[in-house]
Amino acid sequence: MTQVLAADSRFLALELYRILKDIDAARWRNDLEAAIRQRLAQLEANMPHLMARAQQTAPHTDLPNRLAALSELLRDRVPHPHWPSHEEVASKWAEYRAQLIAAYEDLARSLRSLSVHVPSVRPTNYARNLFHVATAGFSVALIALVSSRGGLIALAAFFAASAWTMETSRRFSPRANEFLLRVFRKVAHPHERFHVNSASWYTTALLALALTVPLAVAMAAVGILGIADPAAALVGRRFGRTRLVHGRTLEGTLAFFVTGTLTALGLLMAFWSFPWTAALFVATCASLLGAIVELFSRRIDDNLSIPLAAGAGGWIALQLLPLI
């Protein structure tokens, strides 16, 4: 694929990615409709030229088909501008957003196969947020109930082995992949159809924590992931205005740090009888490192990077406690 086609395709994909973030469920307002229509029309105007170039330059790839499918969505499927009620407007745009996300992920997959990297879409998913919190609660309960490190390692290894067995099976069997995606359709991100899902990375992180850090720190780390990560996503998408890196916002990062610190503080004091000053120091360090790593987790799934970073921050704080 020529450099010109690669650059143009990436530009189109990134602009579509920005539009999808602006019409996310947490950010959508009906008064954005006119501006969004204009941006979609500008994208559609560039499609014929880009499709022709892809047909000439990369005819043996699936890129021309992906661009054609996206072009049809941009040309013929944009919701009608005169729906009678605000509720219908929002509903039609929600349906259209789901179609655009699927087309974007197909395009992104094609581009990645040609060494053109674009980010995956992570739309607001309240069911996933609740699942995140519930999973963290389950993990906290396990750590509290299983008092021995050996027992926790065995349980974490079982969950990790189960997750990676399912992950492997869906790589070799499209039917298994479709079945698992149907089972977890309410909580799966669109890009997980083609990538390792977050649950597999999460169970891997649990095993690593069980093997390396004190159980109190492991509990704080999974609590931070379960509460602070969804809080950052919700606050960042809804109220985020100050951009930092990789689409993250200052507001989302602050929400992560504050909720993560409070969560870890509560867990350390409630389950491990830490003095409040020691608990606050460990919780702050764990949450701070987790927030920093969350900012830069782009190609590494944050269900792996955040708990490991929070665990490392908590462990470092424990080593420093005798010195302060």
% of the chain at pLDDT higher than 70: 98
Residue 160, classified by CB atoms within 10 Å of its CB into exposed (0-12), middle (13-18) or buried (19+), is buried
Best CA proximity match to 128, nearest among 260, 262, 303:
303
3-state helix, strand and coil shares in percent for the chain, rounded to the nearest 5: 80, 0, 20
Which class for 140: exposed (0-12), middle (13-18), buried (19 or more C-beta within 10 A)? buried
- What is the structure's pLDDT at 4? 76
pLDDT, one tens digit per residue, over 87-140 is 777 788 888 998 999 899 889 888 888 888 888 888 777 888 898 899 999 999
CB atoms within 10 A of CB 195: 16
Choose from 59-73, 87-101, 149-163, 181-195 the range with maximum mean pLDDT: 149-163
pLDDT beyond 70 at 324: no
pLDDT averaged over the chain? 88
Q: What's the whole-number mean pLDDT along residues 147-160?
A: 93
Query: Which pLDDT band holds residue 297 (cuts at 50, 70, 90)?
Result: confident
Other CB atoms within a 10 A radius of the CB of residue 123 amount to 17
pLDDT at residue 84 greater than cutoff 70 = no
Indicate the pTM of the whole model: 0.80
Label residue 210 left, alpha or beta by phi (over 0 means left) and psi (-120 to 50 means alpha). alpha
pLDDT for the residue 1: 55
Confidence of residue 288 (pLDDT cuts 50, 70, 90): very high
CB 23 within 8 A of CB 33: no
The domain locations on the chain are 3-113, 131-323
**Identity at 283, one-letter amino acid code:** A
pLDDT at 95: 87
- Is pLDDT above 90 for 252? yes
Q: Which residue has the higher pLDDT, 298 or 178?
A: 178
Helices 63-76 and 86-113 cross at an angle (nearest 10°) of 170
Q: 243 - beta bridge partners? A: 249
Binned at pLDDT 50, 70 and 90, residue 254 comes out as: very high
